[in-house]
Homo-oligomer: A and B are copies of this chain.
Amino acid sequence: MEKLTVLVLDDEHLIALLVETALLEAGFSVVVEHDAASGMSQIKALGADLSALVTDIRLGSGSGWDVAKHARGMRLGLPVVYMSGDSAHEWAAEGVPKSVMIQKPFTVAQIVGAVTTLLNSESSLI
């Protein structure tokens, strides 16, 4: 089976690694970037091959809010999962619709669960 690609954006390398590992074990391809500008470039490079975005809010050279808006502008139904420690209260104003905000601390099982739930509901849109 062809694999689905998830872009993981986090400037904390350890968290990015833990999320990447859990997504790989769940059967996804994973691309990891550590700042907003590189994330934007990957979204452009991946194009239609991008299946989901998992992003921290505070990133070097930009915010996860901006990356998600940019990505949704290119692909309307893209599943978006935000991870955040202290920016969760901004989600109501800055998040994109039908996204999931996961507050730290969290387990990687929550990230995998959010990605698969969003992918499944995207598949079932009519």
Contacts and interface: CB of A to CB of B under 8 A. Distances in A.
Interface of A: 1-4, 14-15, 18, 22, 26-28, 69-70, 72-73, 76-77, 88-110, 112-114, 116-117, 119-120, 123-126
A108 B73 contact: no
A118 B92 CA distance: 14
Nearest to A89: B76
A114 B107 contact: no
A111 B95 CA distance: 23
A108 to B, nearest CB: 5
Contact of A124 (B2, B93, B97): B97
Nearest to A97: B95
